[in-house]
Structure formats: structure tokens, C-alpha cells
Structure 1
Amino acid sequence: MTNERDTLGSALDRLAATIEARRGADPETSYTASLLAGGAERCAKKFGEEATETVIAAVSGDADALAGEAADALYHLLALLAAAGVPPEAVAAALARREGVSGHAEKAARKSD
């Protein structure tokens, strides 16, 4: 159920729930189920393909194409997380830890670990 005033967060929450609900579905009738059945490796490969298509759309300057490809990339990222057993809340927690921290400082801290 979409609404033009949806936030990205609420849309991603619904999408993650849909992906999880389709985990046990028939791979013959559900693309999500077939993707998850291929495991994290297959999901990672598809995410990489979609990320590349997103980059191509970005450099083309076509905002509508970029929005569509970004949606595909986000879907495949969430499927990858599900296949790898990483809940979206873990990603949210990682983002929260970085909030308010300079990107340069955050990257330097990761290098020193």
C-alpha cells in the first residue's frame, strides 16, 4: 500500500517485511523466494548488477531512471541482507552509531581498528 507521502524508511520497512514473508514461498511462483533460495551469493551477485545499473542511470542524468534503478538496488540489498541473516535493524543501528560523526573521522576510525 503506497502513498505519495510515504517516507523511504516506511517503504523499506514494508519491503523488508514482504521479503521475509516470501522466504518460504514457492520459488516457481515468487521471484523473491527464488532469489533467497540461491543464498547470499546469488543475492550479492544480483545486488551488484543492480548497483551497476543504478550508477549508469545516475550518470545518464535521467532522474526517473535513477529512481527506478535505486528502487531495484534497494530491493536487492534487502534481499541480500535477508539471505545473509542480517536484520535491517542491524543496518539501522550501524547508521545510528555513525550519525553526527564526520565521514572522514568515521572512515579513519575503521582504518585504525
Structure 2
Amino acid sequence: NRSGKQLMNVGADSQVRYIGLVQGDHVAVIGENRKLLAFPLAELPELEKGRGVILQRYKDGGLSDVCCFNLSDGLLWIDGSGRRQQVSGLETYLGKRASVGRNVPRGFNRSGKFDDRPS
């Protein structure tokens, strides 16, 4: 920040993957293995700075993308053409934090990102 205070401690063999504003009551994560998991935001503990938590378990690969959403609104993503898509039957993807998840819904972005618009 502007006064030069440290936000988090990151070890030499670690890296920060995502920082963002949290808006919603659930978290959705997708792995490089194209598995989607959604869980309540309340399951995500607040830790001391520089500490991390496991969002999803992976046999191969790692985290591809993460987003927060309101369960009542449903999970939306934006495809490469800028169209908004929505998951129907979200209960299939609901689970406990740090579990594996299920295969992404049909039509989900091949990039594994919730927003696939070109930069």
C-alpha cells in the first residue's frame, strides 16, 4: 500500500495466485484438471498474513481460477465472445473446501477461467 506496509509474507518457494475483492456468500474454484468445486465462504478461514489455505485438492496440476458469487444468483462465467453463461443445478458442484470437485459443466471455457474474454 502507499505507506509501504507489507501486505503478506511469501516464502521463496511460494507465490501469490489470486488477490481480489470478496463479494458473495460462496467461492468457486476450478483446477487445471477442469474440476469445479463450490463451497460456502464461511469455510474459508482468515489466517495471519503470509499463510495460505487449501481451496481444492489436485492429483495433477493446480489452481486455474477462483471467483466469489451469491448462491441465490447462481454461478456465472463469461465466454470468449463476451456472453454470460450460467450453471444450472449448482448443487452438483457444492462440496467441502479442499475436496476434489466435479467435471466442469458442458460449455465451460476451455481455458479454465471464469472470464475468457481477451485481455
Same fold (TM over 0.5): no
Structure number with higher helix proportion: 1
Bigger CA radius of gyration:
1
Structure number with higher strand proportion: 2
Using structure 1 for the length normalisation, give the TM-score: 0.20
